[in-house]
Structure 1
């Protein structure tokens, strides 16, 4: 399906420019979720059918970020996915993080201060140059939540490899519109309720087999078993050999909604989605006399902007005192023009 055809599968009220807060479900995702909820209400089915969506979602995520399915774990939040990584850091390790970083990729390192783990923060544009022989792990967002800045992924990876530092990426604000090769990092975590348009409560992680054995599956459970259906009762410990050993038992309905949405993204293709999203973001920026950029998330500082947008029915966010607008494949030129008219009032 091409992008134009896919756009017919959404029902947004005009003026939704806030996918960086949460994404909107396409019809197949909404309908699948309603059907599952009806089954739950009436008790007409067993849970295994709902759980099949977890496997579909895992496969779709692997396709979107270009990694083997065996290297993907499923969870609920970014911080939960990163917790085993933080716990594996040796005492006295140094973690390098941008100074304006969403805390789900900051608190998992800061909580280990009592073990001597040191978190050093630097401006994002100086992150590459700050990686040195004393850096054990570099953690950053692929796309910054606050203003949509795209990290220098290739340069960060090269500098980290030169100093044998691990690379952890929060790709929540990029995965779903920005193509990238997750397999080049050591760990990639993604909350699926934004650009992947899943219900909140589904998250995905890439765990490189190069370093996976360094981590302990601290939330080990039946679903992480080598055969989940043979892992209901009793010892011995029998976890999966691949990244599934880090799975938590999934919130079924979140993945029921996630699978159709993510499969649709894969069908349309991220290059086409990126082109559409960035084109609309730049229509918005240039309409306000700002220079064009490369991100689907943009921020502007216009006096009274939040109030003007709200009065016009345009839904955006305020981050760090600036209006943040974000554009996805269901966004239209009409949405952009509504915002421009409001801000020009």
Structure 2
């Protein structure tokens, strides 16, 4: 599907520049969710039909990040997917993390301090050089939440491999607009309610086979069984042999809405979405006299920006003392110009 054709499936009120906080659903997602809720309200159907959306979502995510479906697990939040990796770090291990990292990808490592796991934080622009022979794992966001900085993914991976360190990536602020190969890392986690435009309660993780062998699925339930439908009662333990053994039993309605959004993104292609999103972001930057960038998320320091945008009906966010604007495929030139008029008047 062409991007222009897909854009007709959204109907945002003018001025929404805050996808980095939450994304907006296409008509196909909204309609699927309303139908499921209507069925739920009157008990019209069984749950198995809703659960089919979980498999569709898993497959669409795998296609977006270039990973085998068997290496993708589903969950509820990015931190929940990181937890078994953090818990598996041996005592005395060292984890290197950018110092401004969103705490979803920081707290899971810090809480392991009582077991002797050390966390060393460094400036993002020093991350590559900070990976050394003492590093056991490097964790970072592919795109930083605060200001949209895109991490040097390939260089971080190369440095980590040179020192036999694991690579864990939080791609929550990247997946959906930035093409990348998840299989370069050992693990990639994504909360889907932002650029993947799903409801809250949907998250995906790529877990490399070699890493999975070192992890214990502490949240295992019937849904993590080799055959979930024969895993309702009693022993023995019979978990899936692939990444599904780390699945959390899904929030049905969230996945019902997630599947159409992910499938639409996969059909349009993230390369086309990236070109469009970054183009709008650069229109915004150049309109403020700033150089162009390479991200769909930008942060600007303009006096009283928050109040000026609010008066104009523009919804953005404030992060680290700056106004953060984010642009996705349903954003328009008119949205950008509305924000520019408010900030330059």
On whether the aligned pair clears a TM of 0.5, the verdict is yes
- The alignment of Structure 1 onto Structure 2 pairs a total of residues equal to 345
1:34-67 Cα deviation digits (max 9, x unpaired): 0000000010000000000000000000000000
Q: How does 1:27-176 map to 2 (within 5 A)?
A: 27-176=27-176
- Structure-2 separation of matches of 1:283 and 1:334: 11
- Structure-2 separation of matches of 1:211 and 1:303: 47
1:277-308 Cα deviation digits (max 9, x unpaired): 00000000000000000000000000000000
Counterpart residue number, 2:19: 19
Q: Give the C-alpha shift of residue 201 in structure 1.
A: 0.4
Counterpart residue number, 1:224: 224
Q: How does 1:190-209 map to 2 (within 5 A)?
A: 190-209=190-209
Q: How does 1:255-270 map to 2 (within 5 A)?
A: 255-270=255-270
Structure 2 counterpart SS, 1:210: helix
Q: Give the C-alpha shift of residue 110 in structure 1.
A: 0.5
Structure 1 counterpart SS, 2:176: coil
Q: Give the C-alpha shift of residue 344 in structure 1.
A: 1.1
Counterpart residue number, 2:239: 239
Q: Give the C-alpha shift of residue 267 in structure 1.
A: 0.4
- Structure-2 separation of matches of 1:229 and 1:185: 32
Structure 1 counterpart SS, 2:92: coil
Q: Give the C-alpha shift of residue 210 in structure 1.
A: 1.9
- Structure-2 separation of matches of 1:142 and 1:42: 43
Q: How does 1:196-345 map to 2 (within 5 A)?
A: 196-345=196-345
Q: Give the C-alpha shift of residue 232 in structure 1.
A: 0.1
Counterpart residue number, 1:187: 187
Structure 2 counterpart SS, 1:111: helix
- Structure-2 separation of matches of 1:262 and 1:15: 24
Structure 2 counterpart SS, 1:240: coil
Counterpart residue number, 1:178: 178
- Structure-2 separation of matches of 1:34 and 1:100: 39
1:146-193 Cα deviation digits (max 9, x unpaired): 000000000000000000000000000000000000001000000000
Q: Give the C-alpha shift of residue 211 in structure 1.
A: 1.7
1:113-138 Cα deviation digits (max 9, x unpaired): 01100000000000000000000000
Q: Give the C-alpha shift of residue 95 in structure 1.
A: 0.3
- Structure-2 separation of matches of 1:149 and 1:231: 44
- Structure-1 separation of matches of 2:11 and 2:51: 27
Q: Give the C-alpha shift of residue 238 in structure 1.
A: 0.2
- Structure-1 separation of matches of 2:200 and 2:109: 23
Q: Structure 2: which 5+ runs fail to align?
A: none
- Structure-2 separation of matches of 1:156 and 1:230: 43
- Structure-2 separation of matches of 1:220 and 1:261: 27
- Structure-2 separation of matches of 1:124 and 1:179: 20
Normalised by the length of structure 2, the TM-score is 1.00
- Structure-2 separation of matches of 1:208 and 1:267: 25
Point out 4+ residue stretches in structure 1 off by more than 2 angstroms: none
- Structure-1 separation of matches of 2:174 and 2:19: 11
Q: Structure 1: which 5+ runs fail to align?
A: none
